[in-house]
Amino acid sequence: MKTKIFPILLIIIISVIFVIFYKGLQNSNVYEPQIGNQKNIPVFVAKAFETEEIFKSEDIFEGDKFYLMNIWSSWCAPCRDEHKFLLNLSNQKNLKIVGLNYKDKKKNAINFLDELSNPYDFIFSDTDGTIAIEWGAYGVPESFLVYENKIIKKIIGPIDQNSLLEIKELIQ
């Protein structure tokens, strides 16, 4: 009798462990923070990429216009992948694209833009990464769709075809 209970108990324990692991694999481990609707954009002061002139965010982000704040770097491979989508968005009349060059060497960033073309209406430099942190970025690339100085959409990772269509739909 004892010899029959042990294999049955072992099978039950292994089955329970299997079910727990199986259920765990179905859960996404990707953390995607929830941006509440109408979160105000952070107020910051930064240098313009081209001129190194100091600007305040209030000077760039005006009231009833759509802006796409895109955090990028020349050393970022996914930034290269999303660049064609940014160029597509730069043709939208009702959208201004603001770039935040993140922890990059200016020469490398200039070469990046010369090679792939510049989709940005304005670029800030973020040499130490603090502005990106104020925006709530976890890495590069990340993008924030802004309307009336409020973040209405956050895109973690590179912009792709789906997020391109979603942005176009939101700005219509």
pLDDT digit string, tens, across residues 63-73 = 788 999 999 99
Is residue 35 packed enough to be buried (19+ CB in 10 Å), middle (13-18) or exposed (0-12)? middle
pLDDT value of position 29: 55
- Locate 83 and state its tokens: 């660049």
Instruction: Provide the pLDDT for residue 28.
Output: 57
What would the pLDDT profile of 105-126 be if each residue is shown by its tens digit? 999 999 999 999 999 999 999 9
How far CA 150 is from CA of 41, 47, 59, 112, in Å, comes to 5, 22, 15, 29
Read off the pLDDT band of 8 (50, 70, 90): confident
Are 31 and 62 in contact by the 8 Å Cβ rule? The answer is no
CATH topology of domain 39-171: Glutaredoxin (3.40.30)
Taking only the tens place, the pLDDT of each residue in 55-97 is: 888 888 887 889 999 999 999 999 999 999 999 999 999 999 9
What's the angle, vertex CA 152, arms to CA 61 and CA 59, rounded to 5?
A: 5
The domain segmentation of the chain, as residue ranges, is 39-171
